[in-house]
Structure 1
Amino acid sequence: MKPKIAISIGDLNGVGLEIALKSHKAISQFCSPVYCISYTMLHQGAKLLNHELPEDLQLHEIDGEFTIEAGQVSKESGLYSYNSFMEAIKLCENKQADAVVTMPIHKEAWKLAGLDFVGHTDLLRKHFNQEAIMMLGCPEMFVALFTEHMPLKEVPSHITYEKISRFLFDLQKSLGDKQVAVLGLNPHAGDNGVLGSEEREIEKAIAHVNTTLDKELFHGCIVPDIAFTPSFRKNFNYYVAMYHDQGLAPLKALYFDESVNISLNLPIIRTSVDHGTAFDIAYQNKAQNLSYINAIKSALNFINN
């Protein structure tokens, strides 16, 4: 029996459906995908793409039909993507699927639909009442984000010994005994307090976690501007970044097409493409699918391990 993967279809005004359809034959070789979308919406999108529907598609019907508007932000598409995601989660909770793989949603569309979440990970965190960790990357380099979709000015107040310690313990529980480089917040990792004091909290947390685990797994604070150089990456391919762009700017510069998004520290397996809805190329048959293929493979790795 092939593992069953629930596919959350994402914002139907974007590239998610195109990627799903063009990838179906390839991923069906190693998993059994279940697409959380109604036949009506699937047929409408396939017609816009001039794409024939494979005969072996498994659908989990989602209510809420609307007219697809390529490249447009709408509350209807936002609500549909939310409902698709929630049904995919339920399939895993009910043991009808082994993992969830998500296509991109549009945060503004969710807001227009009246949804009080800033993204998939935020929803998962609140749904399961657990501190989900967002980790992105590929085998060459993974970056776990201590803070995610947060204004930069709010980040320093979240860097406390207690919060960093809990984050590192949760990360080790999810990853096992990986060697992890933990970045500082400030230029030069604070220069011993000259450029900021947040690093003292991070260093205290690292020492506490390593001592408690009786293993030297976490290393830092690492100066951010040297952490992703080729010589440094010879020793580490797991990182903790203090804020979104600190980790994702270098990751996407190096591995944009192949990176995936993985939610850790949850009772279900969830992976995702590491890109947005790409409204500018929606329904033009231009979307790349490598990130999606890798997201499926990452989910299968977690299932098998």
Structure 2
Amino acid sequence: MSQPPLVLSIGDPAGIGPELIVRAWLASKAEGLAPFVVAGGSAVMRDAATQLGLDSPVEAVANIANVADAFSSALPVLDGLDGTYSPGAPSKESALLALASLQVATDLAHAGEASGLVTAPVAKANLAEVGFAHPGQTEFLADACGLEPDDAVMMLAGPSLRAIPLTVHVALAEVSSLLTTELIVAKARIAAAVLRRDFGIAAPRLAVTGLNPHAGESGKFGDEEARIIAPAIKLLQDEGIAATGPHPADALFAPHSRAGFDAALCMYHDQALIPVKALDFDQGVNVTLGLPVIRTSPDHGTAFDIAGKGVANPGAMIAAIRLAGEMAARRAHG
């Protein structure tokens, strides 16, 4: 391998994470995926493959240096952490393994022993019961890298669209009070820098949505566009960043409009996630921008209701691994 392997956290082993990881390894050669290793759970992986009738050898490896030799013939899993495969039955034990795997994987990525991190889905409520004090994995990673939560920017990326929610897991009623010109400018700067470095886009084009219907319609439906959003766009343009808007969100994601930008900056969670999931549900990837490490994740949850039934689509997991590998290669050769 020309660079270190990727590391995958196992996610909640009661969810669809284990079977998606196994299926991703089985497809790795055909999909041209970079080599990867799972942070713990070799027995979980073996049991998932066996119960689903998947012909996937699993090899426990002592350290990440052994991944290169193992990957072509078996799914490598770091020794030391393990648990029970109990699809559809989350427990304290499954949450503890999810948290321990995330910690190990993060440490490996932060230390440079892994070229990037791919996180499988977790159940935030279950993690909270075992001491996880963060709103989500993104905030955990920011803290682990010594950053403030706002320094980590969520981007949802699919074949059709990249979208960034500027406010994320907050009530819709709070969005207007949380939006500031400074917030928009700061996150847009991070997005532009990452699109240049990790996506190979020399001059990223950012389309900024409005908050209100019809982008406020000249103040008829609110003043956030004129008071907060337009000044941010002007500042970005003055810095040489190709930002446009505020755009009415109901028209921005039509096919002819999407061709005119590289990423959309959206004012709230659903404004960004609905179009990505409508267009690219089975290939959507959650990318964390602004970290010193590369982090991607499939843009879906644990799906406890279908875990272990063999019907979960591995497309988003494969896409997350592929994107992490591509980003790592650009950083290595940049």
TM-score range, shorter chain: over 0.9
Q: Go from structure 1 to structure 2 and tell me whether the alpha carbon gap of 1:182 and 1:40 turns closer, same or farther (over 3 Å shift).
A: same
Aligned position for 2:8: 7
Displacement of 1:2: 5.2
Q: 1:32 aligns with which of 32, 35, 39?
A: 35
Q: 1:178 aligns with which of 194, 204, 221?
A: 204
1:92-131 C-alpha deviation (Å, 9 max, x unpaired)? 1222211111111111211222311222112112222141
Taking only the aligned residue pairs, the percentage that are identical comes to 35
Displacement of 1:64: 5.9
Of 290-299 and 27-36, deviating more is 27-36
Q: Go from structure 1 to structure 2 and tell me whether the alpha carbon gap of 1:76 and 1:197 turns closer, same or farther (over 3 Å shift).
A: farther
Aligned position for 2:129: 112
Displacement of 1:133: 0.8
Aligned position for 2:276: 251
TM-score, with length taken from structure 1: 0.92
SS in 1 for 2:87: coil
Q: State how 1:156-305 maps to structure 2 within 5 Å.
A: 156-176=176-196, 177-199=203-225, 200-211=227-238, 213-215=239-241, 217-305=242-330
TM-score, with length taken from structure 2: 0.85
1:152-207 C-alpha deviation (Å, 9 max, x unpaired)? 11211111112111111121221132111111111111122221122121110110
Displacement of 1:35: 0.8
Alignment RMSD (CA, Å): 1.8
Q: Aligned equivalents of 1:64 and 1:30: distance in 2? A: 25
SS in 1 for 2:283: coil
SS in 2 for 1:255: helix
Q: 1:145 aligns with which of 159, 165, 175?
A: 165
Displacement of 1:43: 3.3
Displacement of 1:62: 4.7
Displacement of 1:53: 4.0
How many residues matched?
302
Q: 2:78 aligns with which of 55, 60, 66?
A: 60
Displacement of 1:214: 2.7
Q: 1:42 aligns with which of 35, 40, 45?
A: 45
Aligned position for 1:23: 24
Of 67-76 and 200-209, deviating more is 67-76
Counterpart of 1:162, as a letter, is: E
Of 55-64 and 176-185, deviating more is 55-64
Q: Please tell me whether the aligned partners of residues 9 and 102 of structure 1 are also in contact (alpha carbons under 8 angstroms).
A: yes
Q: Go from structure 1 to structure 2 and tell me whether the alpha carbon gap of 1:75 and 1:2 turns closer, same or farther (over 3 Å shift).
A: farther
Q: 1:76 aligns with which of 80, 93, 99?
A: 93
Counterpart of 1:85, as a letter, is: L
Q: Please tell me whether the aligned partners of residues 38 and 78 of structure 2 are also in contact (alpha carbons under 8 angstroms).
A: yes
Q: Can you give the 5+ residue segments of structure 1 that lack an aligned partner in the other structure?
A: none
